A and B are shown apart, each in its own frame.
Chain A
Amino acid sequence: MSLAGLRQGKPEHAGHGEAGEQPHEVAADIHFAAPFSKENAGMDESVPGGAYNFAYLDEETKRMIRRAILKGIAIPGYQVPFASREMPMPYGWGTGGVQVSAACLTPDDSFKVIDQGADDTTNAVSIRKFFERTAGVETTERTAEATVIQTRHRIPETPLTEGQILVYQVPIPEPLRFLEPRETETRRMHALEDYGLMHVKLYEDIARHGEIATAYAYPVKVEGRYVMDPSPIPKFDNPKMEMAAIQLFGAGREQRIYAIPPYTRVVSLDFEDHPFVAGKAPHDCALCGASDTYLDEIITDDAGSRMYVCSDTDHCATRQEAAA
Chain B
Amino acid sequence: MYVAVKGGERAIDAAHEWLAEERRGDVSVPELSVAQIREQMALAVNRVMAEGSLYDPDLAALAIKQARGDLIEAIFLIRAYRTTLPRFGSAEPVETGEMACDRRISATFKDAPGGQVLGPTFDYTHRLIDFALAAEGEPPAAREALAEEAPMPRVTEMLSRDGLIQQEQASDEVPPDLTRAPLEFPAGRPLRLQALTRGDEGFVLSMAYSTQRGYGRNHPFVGELRIGAVPVEMEIPELGFSVEIGEVVLTECETVNQFTGSKTEPPQFTRGYGLVFGQTERKAISMALVDRALRWEELGEDNLGAPAQDEEFVIAHSDNIQATGFLEHIKLPHYVDFQAELELVRKLRAEAMAGQQQEAAE
> A30 CA to B9 CA in the complex, in Å?
33
Which of B162-170, B264-272, B298-306, B323-331 participates in binding chain A? B323-331
Interface 1/0s, chain B 306-346, versus A by CB < 8 A? 00000010001000011011111100111111011111100
Task: Provide the residues of chain A in CB contact with B85, threshold 8 Å.
Answer: 23-24, 26-27
Question: Which residues between 62 and 80 of chain B lie within 8 Å of chain A, taking CB atoms?
Answer: 62, 66, 76, 79-80
Which of B25-33, B176-184, B206-214 participates in binding chain A? B176-184
Q: Is B7 positioned at the interface, with any CB of A under 8 Å from its CB?
A: yes
Among the listed A124, A210, A253, which residue makes an inter-chain contact with B322, where contact means beta carbons less than 8 Å apart? A253
> A215 CA to B342 CA in the complex, in Å?
9
B333–A116 contact, CB under 8 A?
Answer: yes
B337–A31 contact, CB under 8 A?
Answer: no
> A154 CA to B181 CA in the complex, in Å?
30
Among the listed B117, B147, B328, B351, which residue makes an inter-chain contact with A90, where contact means beta carbons less than 8 Å apart? B328
> A121 CA to B337 CA in the complex, in Å?
15
Among the listed A23, A81, A87, which residue makes an inter-chain contact with B54, where contact means beta carbons less than 8 Å apart? A23
> A126 CA to B16 CA in the complex, in Å?
12
Interface 1/0s, chain A 275-297, versus B by CB < 8 A? 00001110000110000001111
Q: Is A216 positioned at the interface, with any CB of B under 8 Å from its CB?
A: yes
Task: Provide the residues of chain A in CB contact with B287, threshold 8 Å.
Answer: none
A7–B120 contact, CB under 8 A?
Answer: yes
Task: Provide the residues of chain B in CB contact with A52, threshold 8 Å.
Answer: 84
Interface 1/0s, chain A 76-114, versus B by CB < 8 A? 000001111111101111010000000000000000000
Task: Provide the residues of chain B in CB contact with A233, threshold 8 Å.
Answer: 336
A34 to chain B, nearest CB (A): 12
Known: A1-B116, A3-B145, A13-B57. A31 touches B86 (CB 8 A): yes
Q: Is B118 positioned at the interface, with any CB of A under 8 Å from its CB?
A: yes
Task: Provide the residues of chain B in CB contact with A40, threshold 8 Å.
Answer: none
Which of A159-167, A191-199, A305-313 participates in binding chain B? A305-313
Q: Is B131 positioned at the interface, with any CB of A under 8 Å from its CB?
A: no
B144–A6 contact, CB under 8 A?
Answer: yes
> A8 CA to B148 CA in the complex, in Å?
8
Task: Provide the residues of chain B in CB contact with A84, threshold 8 Å.
Answer: 182
Among the listed A1, A18, A236, A309, which residue makes an inter-chain contact with B2, where contact means beta carbons less than 8 Å apart? A309
B336–A184 contact, CB under 8 A?
Answer: no
Among the listed A58, A81, A90, A297, which residue makes an inter-chain contact with B86, where contact means beta carbons less than 8 Å apart? A58
Residue of chain A at shortest CB distance from B100 = A10
Known: A16-B56, A297-B339. A5 touches B118 (CB 8 A): yes
Interface 1/0s, chain A 25-47, versus B by CB < 8 A? 01100110000000000000011
A5 to chain B, nearest CB (A): 5
> A165 CA to B130 CA in the complex, in Å?
62
Task: Provide the residues of chain A in CB contact with B327, threshold 8 Å.
Answer: 92
B352 to chain A, nearest CB (A): 8
A171–B246 contact, CB under 8 A?
Answer: no
Q: Is A133 positioned at the interface, with any CB of B under 8 Å from its CB?
A: no
Known: A14-B229, A92-B325, A215-B337. A307 touches B4 (CB 8 A): no
Among the listed A31, A95, A215, which residue makes an inter-chain contact with B340, where contact means beta carbons less than 8 Å apart? A215
Residue of chain A at shortest CB distance from B62 = A46
B8–A124 contact, CB under 8 A?
Answer: yes
Task: Provide the residues of chain B in CB contact with A8, threshold 8 Å.
Answer: 100-102, 117, 119, 147, 228
Q: Is A122 positioned at the interface, with any CB of B under 8 Å from its CB?
A: yes
B312–A16 contact, CB under 8 A?
Answer: no
> A20 CA to B38 CA in the complex, in Å?
12
> A213 CA to B111 CA in the complex, in Å?
66
> A216 CA to B57 CA in the complex, in Å?
46
Residue of chain A at shortest CB distance from B76 = A90
Chain B residues in contact with chain A, CB under 8 A? Answer: 2, 4-9, 11-12, 38-39, 54-59, 62, 66, 76, 79-86, 88, 100-102, 111, 115-120, 142-148, 179-186, 228-229, 232, 245-249, 278, 312, 316, 321-322, 324-329, 332-337, 339-344, 347-348, 351
> What are 30 of the A-B contact pairs (CB < 8 Å)?
A2-B116, A8-B101, A14-B229, A14-B249, A15-B249, A15-B278, A19-B55, A23-B85, A24-B85, A26-B86, A85-B83, A86-B80, A86-B179, A91-B322, A91-B326, A92-B329, A93-B325, A93-B332, A115-B332, A120-B7, A120-B9, A125-B9, A152-B332, A153-B337, A182-B185, A215-B340, A215-B341, A215-B344, A234-B339, A281-B343
Q: Other than the known A24-B59, A91-B322, A209-B351, what 4 A-B pairs have Cβ atoms closer than 8 Å? A: A1-B115, A10-B228, A22-B246, A24-B81
